Amino acid sequence: MKDTQLNHSEKHPSFAAINQICIKESGDDFAILTMPITHNHLNNSGIAHGGSLFTLADSAAGAAVRLGDQKVVTLNSSFNFLSPGILGDTLIAVARIIRSGRTTAVVDVEIIDSNEKKLATGTFTFFKFNN
């Protein structure tokens, strides 16, 4: 499957596109997204900024919940940083819906590096609304 770049438009790229986040795979209750760690993703300590990992996780969780034209926003999240992301690596976020109701959904996300080392985990709650 070809990677799908998340992009709002050519003139106004989405936040995910600016962070080079791509959808690797998605289905009815899951999504797998990737993000390369570039110099733009680093903090002052030379490792991936925590906000970069959180952005990848939130994007993956949202991609798992969105079906068709369904719009969602993050209501709440809990996120644990376990190990640092390293420059040059590509991170993988695996998001799985654990509960989806009429107006909310709860998604678990795990971020791993290219060696399958677990870097972070999180749980995200989304509000679903109509167009």
Collapsing DSSP to helix, strand or coil, 108 comes out as: strand
Residue 1, pLDDT score: 44
Task: Encode pLDDT of 14-61 as tens digits.
Answer: 888 899 999 999 999 999 999 999 999 999 999 999 999 999 999 999
List the one residue out of 70, 67, 54, 48 whose CA is nearest residue 16. 54
Asked if 116 contacts 68 with a C-beta cutoff of 8 angstroms, the reply is: no
List the one residue out of 44, 66, 40 whose CA is nearest residue 124. 66
Task: Encode pLDDT of 71-100 as tens digits.
Answer: 999 999 999 999 999 999 999 999 999 999
Count CB atoms within 10 A of the CB of residue 21: 25
Task: Encode pLDDT of 101-113 as tens digits.
Answer: 999 999 999 999 9
| Residue with tokens 């949202």, as numbered in its chain | 62
Task: Encode pLDDT of 59-75 as tens digits.
Answer: 999 999 987 678 999 99
